[in-house]
C-alpha cells in the first residue's frame, strides 16, 4: 500500500508550485525561467549529492526521476523562489540577501527533516537519535549552501546579462549553485578533519545569523506577494499536522516544540508592518 504521507506531501508541494507558477506567470517570463531553473537545480543537485556522498536514500514517491522524487526538486525550486521574494522586500543590501535566503530555508528544514524521516520520506541510515533527531548536522550546512549559492548566482548574473543572455542567467545560476554545493559538500565531508566538523557548521551558520542581526534589516519594507508566506507556512503546517496525526512528532516530544517554534518564527517574520496613524488634534 502506498505511503499516504508521501502522496499527500507530493500533492501539497504541487499545489504550492502552482501558486508560485501563477505568480511567476503574472510577473513575467524571467520569473518563470527562474522558478523552473530552481526546480531543475533541485533535481540535479539531489541526483549528484546522492552519488557523491551516498548519505541518504528516498522512499518511493509516485513521481520519481531515477532515485529522486520529483516533489523534492519542486520543493527546492519553490522554497528558493519564495525566500527570494521575502528577502527582496527587506532593507538588506543585495549582497546579504542570499544569506538571509539560506537562513529562511533552514527555518523550514529544522522543522521538516526529522519528521520526514519518521514518516518514511527519506532515510539517513542513522536511526532517529543520532545528531539532530536522526538528521546529520551536515544536512543543515548543505541546505544553507544550496539556497544561498543559487540565490547569489541568480542575483549576480541577472543584472549583468543583456539581451538573450539575460534569459539564460537562471541556468548560469544553476551551474554556480551546483559547483558550490558539490564543493561545500566535499569540503565538510572529505577535507575538514572530523574533530572540527561540528565547529565548522556552527561557525558558518552562526556567523550568517550574526551578520544578518548586525545589519539590522527591516523586513517587509513593502508588501510582498503571497508565495513568500504560503510556501513556508504550507511546509510548516503540513509537517506539523502529519507529525501530529501519525504521532511521530512526539518521538521525542522535543520535536513538537521545535516545530511550533519554527512555525512561530516564520509567522512573526511574515507579520505585516502596521504603519502608525497620525492623530488629528481638533482645535477648540
The 10s digit of each residue's pLDDT in 145-185 is 999 999 999 999 887 766 666 777 888 999 999 999 999 98
Which pLDDT score is estimated for 278? 41
The 10s digit of each residue's pLDDT in 47-76 is 999 998 888 999 999 999 999 999 999 999
> What is the mean pLDDT of the segment spanning 176-202?
91
Query: Nearest to residue 49, comparing CAs of 138, 151, 132, 165?
Result: 138
The 10s digit of each residue's pLDDT in 82-105 is 999 999 999 999 999 999 999 999
**Is the pLDDT higher at 189 or at 85?**
85
For residue 254, cis peptide bond before it (omega within 30 degrees of 0): no
**Is the pLDDT higher at 165 or at 277?**
165
DSSP string, 181-232: HHHHHHIIIIIS-GGGHHHHHHHHHHHHHHHHHHH-PPS-SS---THHHHHH
Residue 280 has pLDDT above 60, yes or no: no
Locate 146 and state its grid cell.
544550496
Which pLDDT score is estimated for 272? 65
Q: State the Cα–Cα distance between residues 80 and 84, nearest whole angstrom.
A: 6
What percentage of the chain reaches a pLDDT higher than 90? 79
> What is the mean pLDDT of the segment spanning 8-28?
96
Which pLDDT score is estimated for 161? 65
Residue 276 has pLDDT above 80, yes or no: no
Q: What is the pTM of this model?
A: 0.93
* Domain range annotation of the chain: 4-269
Which pLDDT score is estimated for 271? 77
Amino acid at each position: 500500500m502506498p505511503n499516504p504521507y508521501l502522496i499527500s506531501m507530493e500533492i501539497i508541494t504541487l499545489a504550492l508550485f502552482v501558486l508560485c507558477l501563477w505568480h511567476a506567470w503574472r510577473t513575467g517570463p524571467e520569473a518563470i525561467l527562474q522558478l523552473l531553473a530552481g526546480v531543475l537545480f533541485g533535481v540535479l543537485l539531489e541526483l549528484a549529492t546522492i552519488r557523491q556522498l551516498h548519505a541518504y536514500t528516498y522512499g518511493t514517491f509516485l513521481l520519481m526521476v531515477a532515485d529522486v522524487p520529483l516533489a523534492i526538486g519542486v520543493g527546492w525550486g519553490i522554497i528558493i523562489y519564495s525566500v527570494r521574494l521575502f528577502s527582496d522586500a527587506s532593507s538588506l543590501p543585495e549582497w546579504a540577501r542570499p544569506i538571509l535566503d539560506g537562513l529562511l530555508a533552514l527555518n523550514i528544514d529544522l522543522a521538516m527533516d526529522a519528521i520526514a524521516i519518521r514518516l518514511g520520506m527519506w532515510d539517513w541510515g542513522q536511526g532517529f537519535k543520532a545528531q539532530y533527531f536522526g538528521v546529520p548536522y551536515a544536512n543543515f550546512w548543505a541546505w544553507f549552501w544550496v539556497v544561498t549559492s543559487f540565490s547569489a548566482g541568480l542575483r549576480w548574473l541577472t543584472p549583468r546579462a543583456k539581451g538573450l543572455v539575460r534569459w539564460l542567467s537562471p541556468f548560469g545560476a544553476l551551474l554556480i549553485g551546483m559547483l558550490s554545493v558539490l564543493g561545500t559538500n566535499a569540503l565538510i565531508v572529505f577535507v575538514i578533519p572530523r574533530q572540527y566538523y561540528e565547529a565548522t557548521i556552527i561557525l558558518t551558520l552562526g556567523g550568517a545569523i550574526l551578520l544578518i542581526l548586525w545589519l539590522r534589516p527591516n523586513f517587509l519594507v513593502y508588501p510582498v506577494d503571497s508565495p513568500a508566506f504560503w510556501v513556508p507556512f504550507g511546509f510548516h503546517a503540513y509537517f506539523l499536522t502529519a507529525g501530529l496525526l501519525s504521532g511521530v512528532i512526539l518521538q521525542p516530544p522535543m520535536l513538537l516544540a521545535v516545530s511550533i517554534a519554527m512555525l512561530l518564527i516564520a509567522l512573526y517574520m511574515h507579520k505585516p508592518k502596521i504603519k502608525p496613524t497620525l492623530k488629528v488634534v481638533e482645535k477648540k
